[in-house]
């Protein structure tokens, strides 16, 4: 299962590359814009949660998008600790140029729409199950605990 997921992820990401290149976007940047196109102004915290990205990964993405004049970041006036991300006019206009990407990608799979929908639902369920599972962490000895010796002393 692991290799199949890895290979599928790489294949899909590589398929996006030539579709996004004319827009000047990487796949992770496209995902950020998709959240903003669908939900409007979003806090950095909520954006990270939606994309399952930590702030160390998300911050450089946002910086590049801001440098390309596609988004703005500003402190939330109601909560100075929170930063809101919003689309610029340029970022909003890019939605129209990107509108055919999902259909183009779906067509490249050769799979009928109902199979793609089932696959998406299965992957969402798998992600949720793995994210909440207690078995997705490796049991490690407590900090400072003696580790077993290997081989002769």
Conformational region of residue 118, where left means phi above 0, alpha means psi within -120 to 50, and beta covers everything else? alpha
Phi first, then psi: give them for residue 42, nearest 5 degrees: -140, 140
Residue 138: pLDDT band (50, 70, 90) is low
Q: C-alpha angle 93/62/132, rounded to 5°?
A: 110
| Average confidence (pLDDT) over 51-72 | 95
Fold for the domain defined by 1-93 = Arc Repressor Mutant, subunit A (1.10.10)
Average pLDDT over residues 60-64: 96
pLDDT tens digits, 24-48 = 999 999 999 999 999 999 999 999 9
pLDDT at residue 6 in the model: 95
Burial of 50 (0-12, 13-18, 19+ CB in 10 A): middle
pLDDT band of residue 78 (cuts 50, 70, 90) is confident
Tell me the residue ranges of DSSP E strands in the chain: 42-43, 71-76, 79-87
């Amino acid at each position: 299962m692991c290799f199949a997921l890895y290979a599928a992820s790489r294949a899909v990401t590589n398929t996006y590359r030539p579709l996004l290149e004319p827009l000047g976007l990487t796949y992770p940047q496209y995902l950020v814009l998709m959240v903003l196109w669908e939900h409007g102004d979003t806090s950095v915290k909520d954006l990270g949660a939606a994309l399952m990205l930590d702030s160390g990964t998300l911050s450089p993405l946002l910086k590049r998008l801001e440098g390309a004049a596609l988004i703005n970041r500003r402190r939330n006036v109601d909560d100075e600790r929170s930063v809101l991300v919003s689309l610029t006019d340029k970022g909003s206009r890019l939605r129209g140029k990107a509108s055919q990407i999902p259909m183009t990608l779906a067509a490249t799979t050769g799979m009928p729409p109902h199979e793609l929908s089932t696959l998406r639902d299965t992957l969402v369920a798998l992600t949720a199950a793995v994210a909440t599972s207690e078995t997705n962490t490796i049991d490690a000895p407590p900090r400072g605990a003696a580790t077993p010796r290997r081989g002769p002393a």
